[in-house]
Amino acid sequence: MLNETLKNHHIILASGSPRRQQFFKELGLDFEIRLKPIKEEFPSRLKHIEITDYLAHLKAIPFKDELKANDILITSDTIVWHNDKALGKPEDELDAFAMLKLLSDSTHEVITSVCFTTTTFEKTINDITKVTFKNLTDEEINYYIHTCKPLDKAGAYGIQEWIGQIAVTNIQGSYFNVMGMPTHLVYKSLIDIVNESQKH
């Protein structure tokens, strides 16, 4: 359905994340994966959604000069926000353990920003989901880290994995956003972009 709407556009997903790529396939999109290395650094003054908005935009910059008239470039970033601090991807297993220990027996926010860039405009959307974890034992944390190797995930966990099944006691908002892509907003935004472009 979405493919028909976007038949005159070329979607470029600038993400190496297998989960994000799978979401795009499940949305029924034809898309190209295009990757460029980028340092995911942000000014320390930024807080909360300012961080993910900034990084999603930053990831789009290296592609801007090569976009064609019908291209829609999609870049995104996800963080876990807890105790007024951003948790990105852990550096190693020790870092992952420390992050999960922090998230244990508390509620955190998962924030994802998605940036849509064309030759004529840029639009960034974001979504926030609140996730509550039960009290995790050290054994459970270690088992999860050694079994699922969550070093490529913000906050050191994937909700779709074992830890999501045993630890998540409450979720407010989009489940898919916690996996790294607020698919309902991406779907709506792509339709809005096409409708807007047809007016001009």
Q: What are phi and psi of 105, to 5 degrees?
A: 60, 40
Nearest to 85 by CA among 117, 111, 118, 120: 111
pLDDT (0 to 100) of residue 77: 94
Number of domains in the chain: 1
Q: What are phi and psi of 152, to 5 degrees?
A: -100, 10
Q: Are strands 107-117 and 122-133 parallel, antiparallel or unpaired?
A: antiparallel
pLDDT (0 to 100) of residue 200: 61
Question: What CATH number is associated with residue 181?
Answer: 3.90.950.10
Domain of 111, in residue numbers:
2-199
Task: From first to last of the 200 residues of the chain, give the pLDDT tens digit.
Answer: 666 778 889 999 999 888 889 999 998 889 999 999 888 899 999 999 999 999 999 999 999 999 999 999 999 999 999 999 999 899 999 999 999 999 999 999 999 999 999 999 999 999 999 999 999 999 999 999 999 999 999 999 999 999 999 999 999 999 999 998 999 999 999 989 888 877 76
pTM for the predicted model, two decimal places: 0.93
pLDDT (0 to 100) of residue 17: 86
What positions carry a catalytic annotation?
77
pLDDT (0 to 100) of residue 119: 93
pLDDT (0 to 100) of residue 157: 96
- How many of the other CB atoms lie within 10 Å of CB of 125? 18
